[in-house]
């Protein structure tokens, strides 16, 4: 047999190179690393949408917030534009016109009138009230040392609220004797003729920041006397801690207060003279019979013994 006919035909050199190339191509495709997905492009699409929507969303949020603020906004309280100015007072929790008047050396009726208040029991925390007469130089008065001392007060009763404003806001008060006698001569603000309001012994001294006045110990019914000429700006029991109280305004600078009485013998807006009996000593809103006596200069409590004559 012919050897060439028995053996299969061997591939040619060209065929071998082709086969080898095909195999290399297949192996290379199987082992080549996959290409990275275009993540940046996929991220940018939603980001672009978000950026485009931001102004509209922010505008809607701001509009909603503005509407909420507008809905919650409250109108400005009366006198708010005068907050912090001399001659004005910002109402605090627990305040009443009686307390504000005592703390600022004024008749509460005058404060009501200066601020055109229809109901003296309806004042709001943060409301700003005029506490000096409109024709007074507030800067000059402030320079003289206006100060306030805290006093808790109860609401005014309707009868007191309906009473007319007094003339105690005049620069200098004049006084008349009971029965309508001629008024006494006017005195300067710091030149009052003081006297002791009771003959009782001194049992409690004035102490700056702690005690607003002095205490005189006596018997129930002992006479309580006006310490100087003036006009009654308060007579009642609406100042908590003071019991039956009389407040006398002597002039634009001074007023005096007489507390814990068992009986009041004067009425608001009544003119009284130095030494006139205005009350009877008692123990109202106190644990024993006593007279708590204060002198206030421009609303600030001062030591009465520095003004009263020696005993």
Three-class SS string for 200-240?
CEEEECCECCCECCEEEECCCCCEEECCCCEEEEEEECCCC
Mean pLDDT is lowest, of 20-24, 234-238, 284-288, 293-297, for 20-24
Which of 131, 162, 193 is the endpoint of a domain? 162
> CATH no. for residue 117?
3.10.350.10
In a domain, 70, yes or no: no
Task: Give the domain CATH number at 256.
Answer: 2.70.70.10
Same domain as 222, residue 152: no
CB-side neighbour CA atoms (13 Å) of 221: 0
pTM of the model: 0.63
Q: Within a 10 A sphere around the Cβ of 263, how many other Cβ atoms?
A: 13
Most confident of 24-28, 179-183, 190-194, 241-245: 241-245
Residues 142 and 217 in one domain: no
pLDDT of residue 63: 54
**β-strand pairing of 128-130 with 300-302:** unpaired
Q: Is residue 107 one of the residues assigned to a domain? A: yes
129, 148 Cβ separation under 8 angstroms = no
Shared-domain flag, residues 158 and 230: no
Assigned domain for 1 exists: no
Task: Give pLDDT, residue 293.
Answer: 98
22: pLDDT strictly greater than 70: no
Residue 270, in any domain of the structure: yes
Q: How confident is the model at residue 305 (pLDDT cuts 50, 70, 90)?
A: very high
Our count of domains for the chain comes to 2
Between residues 23 and 78, which one has the greater pLDDT?
78
Residue 117 domain-assigned (yes or no):
yes
Residue 30 CB neighbour total at 10 angstroms: 7
Q: Which residues contact 170 (CB under 8 A, 6 or more apart)?
A: 252
169 within 8 A of 193, measured Cβ to Cβ:
no
CB-based contacts of 11, cutoff 8 Å, min separation 6: 19
Please give the pLDDT value at position 112: 94
Tokens for 209?
A: 């920041």
Question: According to the model, what pLDDT value does residue 121 have?
Answer: 87
Among 131-140, 189-198, 241-250, name the one with the lowest average pLDDT: 131-140
pLDDT, tens digit (0-9, with 9 covering 90-100), for 268-297: 999 999 999 999 999 999 999 999 999 999
Ramachandran angles phi, psi of 215, nearest 5°: -120, 130
Q: Do strands 214-217 and 300-302 pair parallel, antiparallel, or not at all (unpaired)?
A: unpaired
Indicate whether 300 and 205 sit together in one domain. Answer: yes
Q: Name the region of 279 (left: φ>0; alpha: ψ -120 to 50; beta: rest).
A: beta
pLDDT at 93: 93
Question: From CA 91, how far away is CA 79, in angstroms rounded?
Answer: 11
Alpha-carbon span 43 to 282, nearest angstrom = 88
User: Which residues, at least 6 apart from 252, have a Cβ–Cβ distance to it below 8 Å?
Assistant: 105, 136, 169, 170, 171, 172, 189
**One domain, residues 207 and 155:** no
**Of 162, 182, 217, the domain-final residue:** 162
Phi and psi torsions of 259, nearest 5° = -115, 165
Tens of pLDDT along 38-93?
Answer: 444 444 444 444 434 444 544 555 555 555 555 556 677 888 899 989 999 999 99
Query: How many CB atoms sit inside 10 A of residue 79's CB?
Result: 18
- Alpha-carbon span 25 to 30, nearest angstrom: 9
Strands 223-225 and 201-204: unpaired
Q: Which of 69, 75, 71 is nearest to 126 (CA)?
A: 75
Average pLDDT, the chain: 75
CA distances from 201 to 51, 196, 290 (A): 85, 11, 10
Q: Among the three residues 100, 132, 162, which one is the final residue of a domain in this structure?
A: 162
pLDDT at residue 147 in the model:
39
The answer to whether residue 168 sits within a structural domain is: no
Asked whether residue 134 is domain-assigned, the answer is yes
pLDDT at 77: 84
Per cent of the chain over pLDDT 90 is: 49
Q: Is residue 224 in a domain? A: yes
Look at residue 38 in the predicted model and tell me its pLDDT. Answer: 44
Confidence of residue 178 (pLDDT cuts 50, 70, 90): very low
By CB atoms closer than 10 A (0-12, 13-18, 19+), residue 278 is buried
**What's the pLDDT tens digit per position in 89-144?**
999 998 989 999 999 999 999 999 999 999 988 999 999 999 999 987 777 665 55
- Give the domain range for residue 214: 201-306
**What does residue 173 show for φ and ψ, rounded to 5 degrees?**
-85, 140
């Amino acid at each position: 047999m012919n050897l060439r006919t028995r053996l299969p035909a061997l591939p040619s050199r060209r065929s071998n190179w082709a086969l080898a190339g095909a195999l290399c191509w297949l192996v290379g495709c199987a082992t080549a690393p996959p290409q990275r997905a275009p993540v940046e492009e996929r991220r940018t699409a939603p980001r672009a949408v978000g950026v485009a929507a931001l102004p509209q969303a922010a505008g809607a949020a701001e509009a909603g917030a503005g509407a909420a603020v507008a809905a919650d906004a409250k109108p400005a309280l009366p006198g708010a534009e005068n907050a912090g100015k001399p001659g004005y007072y910002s109402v605090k929790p627990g305040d009443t016109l009686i307390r504000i008047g005592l703390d600022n050396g004024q008749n509460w009726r005058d404060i009501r009138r200066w601020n055109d208040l229809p109901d003296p029991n309806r004042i709001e925390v943060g409301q700003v009230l005029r506490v000096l007469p409109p024709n007074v130089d507030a800067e000059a008065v402030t320079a003289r040392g206006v100060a306030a001392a805290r006093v808790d007060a109860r609401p005014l009763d309707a009868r007191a609220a309906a009473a007319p404003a007094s003339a105690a806001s005049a620069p200098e008060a004049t006084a008349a004797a009971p029965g309508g006698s001629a008024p006494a001569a006017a005195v300067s603000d710091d030149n009052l003729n003081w006297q002791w309001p009771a003959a009782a012994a001194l049992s409690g001294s004035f102490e700056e920041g702690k005690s607003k006045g002095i205490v005189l110990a006596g018997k129930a019914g002992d006479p309580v006397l006006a310490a100087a000429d003036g006009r009654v700006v308060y007579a009642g029991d609406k100042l908590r801690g003071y019991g039956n109280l009389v407040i006398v305004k002597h002039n634009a600078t001074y007023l005096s207060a007489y507390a814990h009485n068992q009986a009041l013998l004067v009425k608001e807006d009544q003119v009284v003279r130095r030494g006139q009996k205005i009350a009877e000593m008692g123990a109202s809103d106190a644990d024993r019979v006593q007279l708590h006596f204060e002198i206030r200069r421009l609303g600030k409590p001062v030591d009465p013994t520095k003004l009263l004559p020696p005993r």
